[in-house]
Amino acid sequence: MLLKIDGVLSSAEIAKMRTQLQDVKFDDGKATAGPAVRDVKNNLQSVVADKALDEPRSTLTAALLKHELFNQYVLPRRVMPVMFNRYDSGMDYGGHVDNAIMGGGDPLRADVSVTVFLTDPADYDGGELVIHADGPAQAVKLAAGSAVIYGSDSIHKVEKVTRGSRLCGVTWAQSFVRDPAQRDMLFDLMQLARWARTTAPGSPEAMKIAKTRANLMRLWAEV
């Protein structure tokens, strides 16, 4: 299952972030690519230690962590510092799976991958994020400020950009619940609980849904 979230960032936040990223150094993405993906990775990515990244990173991370759907779907235990990548005309990233363990000296298990689009789709051609999850591949190209969340175990790729430039923020999260099927069920139950609170607030049925979700979380969560 993948989830699209509109409006993670406001237009003002996007404009400010794009201005800030003009001062950031971008390196060849192959510099941090492992042997399995080096031959298919053709993009630019922000230098990890660049202090100019501090504010845009914190802005994007805060926006995700305060978003209700992000928290309900991901159940984040830890989130990696955001990395920004850029695809200029002619660049792409072939099919790959994200690393299972990330973070170097402070490692986390990558359960969930997040891409936040920072460029308006009208400003570039190509550049779709193609994700193989839950059946046929899905091509994703969202409005600036919107995010797509998907399992880090999914095969995915970025189609070649043929005009303009595609800028995104990407990050990975370790969830309190490792199993994706269990996370999906907890997310569905949260949506049912919200519906029950609206249609039958205080009813025994609403309480049972809330109790079931809480007890499954207690059963499955890793703390």
pLDDT in tens, 173-197: 999 999 999 999 999 999 999 999 8
Cβ count near 218 (within 10 Å): 9
* Structural domain spans, the chain: 3-175, 180-220
pLDDT per residue as tens digits for the range 97-141: 999 999 888 899 999 999 999 999 999 999 999 999 877 899 999
**In 91-128, which positions are buried (b, 16+ CB within 10 angstroms) versus exposed (e)?**
bbbeebbbeeebeeeeeebbbbbbbbbbbebeebbbbb
Query: Order of strands across the sheet with 155-158?
Result: 41-42, 92-96, 155-158, 129-132, 138-140
pLDDT in tens, 27-76: 999 887 777 788 899 999 998 788 889 999 999 999 999 999 999 999 99
Q: Which CATH superfamily is domain 3-175 in?
A: q2cbj1_9rhob like domain (2.60.120.620)
The pLDDT score that the predictor gives to residue 76 is 98
Confidence class of residue 11 from pLDDT cuts 50, 70 and 90? Answer: very high
pTM of structure: 0.94
Residue with tokens 């999914």: 154
**Closest Cα to residue 57, out of 25, 32, 87, 20?**
20
